[in-house]
Chains A and B, each alone.
Chain A
Amino acid sequence: MRTPDLYPITETHRPLRFCSSAEPFGVGVTAHWISEARLMSAPNEDNASQPQLSSHVFDELLDSIIIDVASECHRVAKLGLDRNLEEEEEEELRLSAQARARVADPSNNSETNGKYIVDIFGQTHPPVANEIFECMNCGRSIMAGRFAPHLEKCMGKGRKARLKATGSSTAQTRYS
């Protein structure tokens, strides 16, 4: 005679989503079982068998849950819904951990944070972009790296420009 085999529960790195914690679990059946068991046991044995009863209930619940999870996983595996998750994920995690370790290692770090590096086209650039062009709003020649703050004032947008326009002293004190 054989019990239904407990199918190996596939280990995944992500918690199984199947058993939603929102779902009340088999408690209804067990409650019935407890009341039945009480009726069956003799009255003067009640106190003695109390821990045994709790133990049985717990075992029953645990078995029920284990088989439930096994059954779900079995279905997922048989229907081809698990897609080699485990292998792919492990590989990705390994690569990620490896990458972080290598990058964190100071001896490996060839990248200089300074802005005097040479790009792939063999060019170097100053920290503040120095290309000069004409502002399309006012026509003045502006350096690229200073274009945004210039344009802001030029177009009359932004906080500082708005303050200047209103000229209100209360506005100034509020924002200063």
Chain B
Amino acid sequence: MCSSNNLYKNPKPCKHLADYKLKNGLCGYSLIQECFRTTPYGRTTLEISKSEIPRCNICSGCHGRFYMCLICSSVLCCWSPESNHAHLHSQSQTGHEISVDIERAELYCFVCCDQVYDPDFDNAVMCKHIMGFSRTENGGVESELRLSKRRRSSFGMDLDSKNMKRLFFRRDQKSKSCFPLGLRGLNNLGSTCFMNSVLQVLLHAPPLRNYFLSDRHNREICRKMSSDRLCLPCDIDLMFSAVFSGDRTPYSPAQFLYSWWQHSENLATYEQHDAHEFFISMLDRIHDKEGKESLAPKDNGDCQCIAHRAFYGLLRSDVTCASCGFTSTTHDPCMDISLDLSSCNSNPKGLTSKSSKPNESLGGCLDLFTRPEKLGSDQKLYCENCQEKQDTLKQMSIKKLPLVLCFHIKRFEHSPTRKMSRKIDCHMQFPFSLDMKPYLASSIVRERYGNRIFSFDSDESDISTQFEIFAVVTHSGMLESGHYVTYLRLRNQWYKCDDAWITEVDEEVVRASQCYLMYYVQKMLYHKSCEDVSCQPMSLRADAFVPIAGCC
């Protein structure tokens, strides 16, 4: 079910390394550990002498690449095929096959002529990194480098559709030829395409759909229990009932609009709004109502309202001192990830480059998002270790992945200095299947230290990193007067939801579209939900549900 437990595979040692380990164990590594020198950027080198540059034992030269033999600690050079004293040494002395590249602190076997890897050696390297900060209280680096304790967290299995199936659905033989349930157009009530596009996403986000269709928010009970007449989740529930009723004529989300406007003062105007803004506002409103009434939060303090259970993730921000390497880490909650397009990173003076624009992709934007960024010298931060202001590096990564991952592409650029806004129209490629592994905190931090074999505290192996896309919200037109359209992926078929018009489209159309919001769901939930939507509804409640024999 989950991805492999290790984020890397332990490479098999070569015969010579294995022999070395058998004979010498770890004592060679511990001795050499004193010579390790670490830089704030995660690099490790070997420093043989503080005052002199390294010289070869055989030729006293200082050219080429240097290796230190693990057995006799002699330093040897390798300059050219003709002048390779390190290799000579390994041949002339038996047992002296393994050495360390002093520039990078990597093991090298001169018989295999290949770089080799040993978790114990990497462990020694990492311990050196940790030891550098042992005198500080704030375990910025320490805490992340502790051996991991696997924490089991409930995976949201209660959000799956088992309950829903029992109450509402039975398999229908003819279901394959029918259109998926819940596919229904939404009438535009007057510049409300921004709202319709996001509603279509929420109506088909597996955790939300399962939650509302399982009657987890019961309108009657809510009315009795709450003195507050206003309840956005109730209106959402009403909408779910209507949209999944089997009626295929376009639905007017008027009650919902009325309810939402009563909740959100500032957004209650008849004009075009930003779909992303609306999405966040919706989640806030759901949380406001449900968060208070939900069962006691679990041990880890996470809110259990449906908005959080579906979308809540955790971002990790590392701020590293460029001078001493001391890292301080903070975690910030996020309900979505806003990504910059790389083309807007150029030219501080605002000159548009006439050269060809690079091809934008989601992977590229995520790389940009998790790239170590050197903060300007006007943004020096106080380092606890150095006790003064220093240049800093900042790096973002993902600590906890949500069930549903929303990417927001920042296409609307607002320039406060020039008092104008513009829309960035460039196309962005995005995959239908996404693996978030390289952007996890564990991968990013590990990479920062040169991908050493080491267990980090932030290793998360109980949540899968595989995602499948299920909805794309696109924007076409100008900043002020554009149009939002949602593409939904149900049972591996893409549907275009353009207000009241639902049409089938090829996946090519979706790939070529200009994405603005992209919604990915954990792969397992996606595949389960593909099964669910092929069923027919069966009414158990007196009201809205109308059983239908066939829907085509």
Contacts and interface: CB of A to CB of B under 8 A. Distances in A.
Nearest to B322: A22
Interface residues of A, number: 70
A2 B506 CA distance: 55
A102 B427 CA distance: 15
Contacts of A46: none
Contacts of A67: 65, 103
A144 B363 contact: no
A120 B364 contact: no
A155 B262 CA distance: 9
A102 B188 contact: no
Given A22-B393, A96-B429, A32 B189 contact: no
Interface of B is mostly: loop
A62 interface: no
A160 to B, nearest CB: 8
Nearest to B4: A80
A145 B186 CA distance: 11
B188 A79 contact: no
A20 B62 contact: no
Which one of B64, B187, B435, B510 has the highest number of Cβ atoms from chain A below 10 Å of its Cβ? B187
Contacts of A125: 185, 250, 500-501
A42 interface: no
B422 interface: no
Contacts of B179: 120-121
B187 A145 contact: yes
B103 A64 contact: yes
Contact of B249 (A2, A5, A32, A123): A123
Nearest to B505: A111
B288 interface: no
Contacts of B185: 119, 125
Contacts of A157: 261, 265, 268-269
Grouping DSSP codes into helix (H, G, I), strand (E, B) and loop, the A interface class, with mixed when no group exceeds half, is helix
B331 interface: no
Contacts of B63: 33, 60
Interface string A107-139: 000010001010111010100110101001100
A153 to B, nearest CB: 8
B437 A131 contact: no
B453 A79 contact: yes
B34 interface: no
B252 A136 contact: no
A71 B101 contact: yes
Contact of A2 (B81, B374, B503): B81
A25 to B, nearest CB: 10
A23 B374 CA distance: 10
Q: Which of A119, A137, A159 has most B Cβ within 10 Å?
A: A119
Interface string B354-368: 000001010110010
A174 interface: no
A147 B189 contact: yes
Given A3-B80, A147-B257, A75 B451 contact: yes
B9 A79 contact: yes
Contacts of B82: 1
A27 interface: no
Of A20, A63, A71, A128, which is in contact with the most chain B CB atoms at under 10 Å from its CB? Answer: A20
B182 to A, nearest CB: 13
A95 B506 CA distance: 12
B501 A119 contact: yes
B363 A99 contact: no
B450 interface: yes
A98 interface: yes
A129 B188 contact: yes
Given A1-B82, A81-B451, A119 B429 contact: no
Given A22-B322, A71-B104, A137-B258, A80 B9 contact: yes
26 contacts: A1-B81, A1-B88, A4-B65, A4-B115, A17-B371, A17-B447, A23-B39, A23-B43, A71-B104, A78-B115, A102-B508, A102-B512, A111-B509, A119-B501, A119-B502, A120-B183, A129-B499, A133-B252, A144-B188, A145-B188, A146-B189, A148-B191, A155-B262, A157-B265, A157-B268, A158-B271
Given A18-B447, A125-B501, A148-B190, 9 more contacts: A14-B367, A22-B372, A22-B374, A32-B62, A64-B65, A67-B65, A83-B435, A129-B252, A145-B189
The 7 tightest CB contacts between A and B, nearest first, are A148-B190, A99-B511, A129-B187, A99-B508, A32-B53, A103-B512, A80-B9
